[in-house]
Structure 1
Amino acid sequence: MEKRLRGLKKAMENTYMQELEFTSMMKKRIHDSIAKEAISEQDVLTSLLELLAKERTGFELTGLLQARGIRKYEDDEGSLYSLLHEQEHRGIIASSWGSSGEKYYRLTDKGRRVLEKTSKRASRARFSFKEQSEG
C-alpha cells in the first residue's frame, strides 16, 4: 500500500470513524438503496413494457420487477401505479377491470412500437459497451 494511503488509513482509525459500526440490517439497507438507484428509469420502463406483453395486475408487476432485480417499488408500490397511470395517459398501455375488482394492464399498439424502439436502443448500447470493453 502506498505510504500516503497507509497514512490516511491510520488517520481514519484514530478518529471518530473508528467508532462507526454498521449492523447487518444497516448494511442491507445501504446495499438495497444503492441497488434501487443503480437501475436507470429507461431500464425500468423497458422491463415494465416487456412484462406487459401479457395482461397483468399491478401486484403481479411488482413481483416480476423484483424478480428481475428491480427493487425500486418494493416498499413504494404507489410509485409503480403512478408510472402505470402516466404510461396509460400517454397511450402506451391500457387498463381494464377484472371481474373480481382487480385492474389489469396491457400494452397498446403504440406501446409495442415504443418497446421495439427501446429494445433496439438498449441492444445497441450493450453492443457498443461490449466493443469498448473488449477494445
Structure 2
Amino acid sequence: MEERLKKLKKTVDQTAFKQLEFTNEHQQNIRKQLQSASLKQQILSMLTEAKSGVELTQQLHVRAVEQIVENEGLVYSILHEAEQQGWLMASWHEGIKYYQLTKLGTKQLQQDSERIKLTLKQRILGVRMHVE
C-alpha cells in the first residue's frame, strides 16, 4: 500500500470511523450497486474516442473487471442501452461497429459520477447511525 494511503487509513482509524462496522450484507449491497453503476461509468468514460465493443471488452479484461468475465454480453447490453438513450453514437467501419460518447453522454457520465458519490455517502452515513 502506498505511504499516503497508509497515512489516510491511520487517520481514519483514529477518528469517528474507529467504531464503524459494516455488516457483510451491507458491504455486499454497496459493492453490488457500485459495480453495476461503475461498469456503465467505466464504459462511458472509455468512449471519449471511438472504440469497438471488442476493444472495450479487451480493455475491461486488462483492467480486471470481474463482472465481464465470461459475461462479455453485459458490455454490449450497456452499449445498446446507452446508444438508445442518446449517450453514444455508433458508426460502422469495415463491418465493425464503433461507439463514441455524445455531449448528452458526457453529461450523463458526470451526473452518474455525482449520483454514485452521493449514494455512497448516504450508505456510509446510514451505517454510521447504527454504530453503538
TM tier relative to shorter chain: 0.5 to 0.7
Give the Cα–Cα distance (whole angstroms) in 1 for the partners of residues 112 and 101 of structure 2.
14
Give the TM-score normalised by the residue count of structure 2.
0.60
From 76, 92, 115, the equivalent of 1:97 is: 92
**CA separation of 1:126/1:104 partners in 2, compared to 1, >3 Å: closer, same or farther?**
same
Residue 84 of structure 1 corresponds to 79
Alignment of 1:1-135 (within 5 A): 40-98=35-93, 100-123=94-117
Counterpart contact for 2:53–2:76, Cα < 8 Å = yes
Identity %: 31
Residue 19 of structure 2 corresponds to none
Q: Count residues with an aligned counterpart.
A: 97
Deviation at 1:122, TM superposition (A): 3.5
- Write out the 4+ residue segments of structure 1 that deviate beyond 4 Å after TM superposition: 123-129
How large is the RMSD of aligned CA atoms in angstroms? 2.8
Give the Cα–Cα distance (whole angstroms) in 1 for the partners of residues 112 and 70 of structure 2.
27
Counterpart code for 1:121 = R
Please say which structure displays the higher CA radius of gyration.
Answer: 1
Counterpart contact for 1:62–1:74, Cα < 8 Å = no
Counterpart contact for 2:57–2:72, Cα < 8 Å = yes
Give the Cα–Cα distance (whole angstroms) in 2 for the partners of residues 71 and 120 of structure 1.
23
Q: Counterpart of 1:72 in 2: which secondary structure?
A: helix
Give the Cα–Cα distance (whole angstroms) in 2 for the partners of residues 54 and 68 of structure 1.
18
Deviation at 1:73, TM superposition (A): 2.1
Q: Counterpart of 1:40 in 2: which secondary structure?
A: helix
Give the Cα–Cα distance (whole angstroms) in 2 for the partners of residues 127 and 79 of structure 1.
27
Give the Cα–Cα distance (whole angstroms) in 1 for the partners of residues 61 and 121 of structure 2.
25
Deviation at 1:52, TM superposition (A): 0.9
Structure 1 stretches lacking a partner, 5+ long: 1-33
